[in-house]
């Protein structure tokens, strides 16, 4: 059998990560930093001050044309046409069975749309979008790997970024964006993020990414800004109850199962997977994502079985120690309905031994 190796790409910030001593791993087709100093230190920086992330591996597509909103509304569960200029909105592309192709963010700019998709789904989503455009009045441009994305997240993110941007960032509402400049370089700045904290995401040409990254660190290291990797980002998003594609969402896990029913707008005339989701909602007998806190120190890991009494009712989808929740071990699990009720005692099987746990409301952590 011939093994074909797929080359791993590098973001525009690869040399910066090497210079900072990051531990790099393949992720989403790119060589990405999983951590610099330690996951705990980086986590603490984001919760207390701010952290700097390279998200340039994420897929970025530009959508242009008068037909974008109508076309995208037929492929997604949330409303697209009602997004205001310079507003962002979370959405989910679904398949015919209601499963999630990908969860994404639409940014409506003045004369175009920016769509950000998960890195692992970038190729799949590009094929899906290209194949669905057909004769609609939509023009697509794939910027994946060409444009960079830098996120600064944490309670001091505004104070750290605002002096270096020519937009009034304090007036920028959550899930809105501005076309501005950062350190004199043209960018789109969005008040969005994936950590459960306030913060901004900066979309910029790859050739200027390293300059901005270095400047932000140099100007804010004394104030406690830390470069952060994928490891701390995963802990932060899990604490905040945010889904990760391939874990809480997948082609065979619907938005309803993931607890994202608020994003499904059944009032839209039609969208791919609507009938399947309506049927699932009416039956209400589906497995769904629930939050779990372990009673002891045993960690719940992806794939571990969850029991209600002696009955196997599902599996862990994500798990981690959660510093923001008293260093408890927390997890999400896809379980049968009766095992998803808050307060229900369950058990997680770890190496043949059942460990006590309890179902809790999501998110585990919410900033004040």
| CATH number, domain with residue 332 | 2.40.30.110
Using the 3D structure, point to which of 104, 135, 166 is the last residue of a domain: 135
Q: For residue 353, is pLDDT > 70?
A: yes
Out of 135, 157, 182, a domain closes at: 135
Q: Higher-confidence residue: 135 or 324? A: 324
Position 7 scores a pLDDT of 76
Regarding beta strands 50-54 and 225-228, do their DSSP bridges make them parallel or antiparallel, or are they unpaired? parallel
The confidence score (pLDDT) of residue 115 equals 98
Q: Are residues 169 and 205 in the same domain?
A: yes
Shared domain check, 200 and 53: yes
CA distance linking residue 25 with residue 9, whole number of Å: 11
**Is the pLDDT confidence value at 152 over 80?**
yes
Residue 42 forms part of a structural domain: yes
Beta strands in 55-206 (DSSP E): 59-64, 87-94, 100-108, 113-117, 139-142, 147-153, 177-182, 185-190, 199-205
**For the segment 48-91, what is each residue's pLDDT rounded down to a tens digit?**
999 999 999 999 999 999 999 999 999 999 999 999 999 999 99
114 three-state secondary structure? strand
**Alpha-carbon distance 129 to 78, whole Å?**
16
Same domain, 48 and 152: yes
Residues 32 and 154 in one domain: yes
pLDDT at 4: 47
**Looking at residues 111-128, what average pLDDT do you find?**
97
CATH number at residue 130: 3.30.70.1400
In the chain, what is the straight-line distance between the N-terminal and C-terminal CA atoms, in Å?
55
| 149/227 same-domain check | yes
Q: Say if residue 233 is in the same domain as residue 162.
A: yes
User: CA nearest 145: which of 23, 267, 10?
Assistant: 10
Task: For residues 83 and 222, state if they share a domain.
Answer: no
Query: Which residues form the domain of 335?
Result: 287-360
Q: What is the pLDDT of residue 2?
A: 52
Q: How confident is the model over 256-264, as a mean pLDDT?
A: 98
Q: Are residues 176 and 310 in the same domain?
A: no
Residues 97, 250 contacting (CB under 8 angstroms): no
**Which residue in 173, 203, 187, 202 sits closest to 88, CA to CA?**
173
Q: What pLDDT does residue 6 have?
A: 62
Does 38 score more than 60 pLDDT? yes
Number of domains in the chain: 3
Q: Is the dihedral of CA 56, 58, 63, 68 positive or negative?
A: negative
Residue 170 covered by a domain: yes
Q: How would residue 5 be classed by pLDDT, with cut points 50, 70 and 90? A: low
Asked whether the predicted pLDDT for residue 161 surpasses 70, the reply is yes
Confidence of residue 1 (pLDDT cuts 50, 70, 90): low
0.85 surpassed by pTM: yes
Considering the chain, what percentage of its residues have pLDDT values greater than 90? 96
Answer yes or no: is 256 within a domain.
no
For residue 139, what are the β-bridge partners?
64
């Amino acid at each position: 059998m011939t093994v074909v190796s797929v080359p791993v790409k590098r973001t525009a910030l690869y040399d910066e990560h090497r210079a900072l001593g990051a531990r790099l791993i393949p992720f989403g087709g790119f060589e990405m930093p999983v951590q610099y100093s330690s996951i705990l230190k980086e986590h603490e920086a984001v919760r207390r001050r701010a952290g700097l992330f390279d998200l340039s591996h994420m897929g970025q597509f530009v959508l242009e044309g008068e037909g974008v909103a109508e076309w995208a509304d037929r492929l997604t569960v949330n409303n697209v046409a009602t997004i205001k200029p310079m507003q962002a909105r979370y959405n989910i592309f679904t398949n015919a069975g209601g499963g999630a192709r990908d969860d994404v963010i639409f940014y409506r700019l003045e004369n175009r749309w920016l769509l950000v998709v998960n890195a692992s789904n970038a190729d799949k989503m590009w094929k899906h979008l290209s194949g669905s455009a057909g004769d609609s009045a939509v023009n697509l441009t794939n910027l994946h790997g060409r444009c960079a994305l830098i996120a600064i997240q944490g309670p001091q993110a505004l104070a750290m970024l605002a002096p270096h941007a020519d937009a009034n960032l304090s007036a920028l509402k959550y899930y809105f964006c501005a076309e501005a400049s950062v350190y004199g370089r043209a960018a789109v700045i969005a008040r969005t993020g994936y950590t459960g904290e306030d913060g901004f995401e900066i979309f910029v040409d790859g050739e200027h990414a390293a300059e901005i990254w270095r400047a932000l660190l140099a100007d804010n290291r004394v104030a406690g800004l830390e470069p952060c990797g994928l490891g701390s980002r995963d802990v932060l998003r899990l604490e905040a109850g945010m889904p990760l594609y391939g874990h809480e969402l997948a082609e065979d896990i619907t938005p309803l199962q993931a607890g994202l029913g608020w994003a499904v707008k059944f009032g839209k005339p039609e969208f791919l997977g609507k009938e399947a989701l309506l049927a699932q909602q009416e039956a209400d007998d589906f497995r769904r994502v629930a939050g779990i806190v372990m009673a002891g120190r045993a960690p719940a890991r992806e794939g571990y079985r969850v029991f209600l009494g002696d009955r196997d009712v599902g599996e862990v989808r994500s798990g981690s120690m959660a510093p923001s929740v008293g260093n408890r071990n927390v997890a999400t699990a896809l379980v049968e309905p009766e095992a998803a009720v808050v307060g229900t005692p369950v058990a997680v099987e770890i190496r043949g031994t059942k460990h006590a746990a309890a179902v809790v409301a999501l998110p585990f952590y919410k900033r004040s």
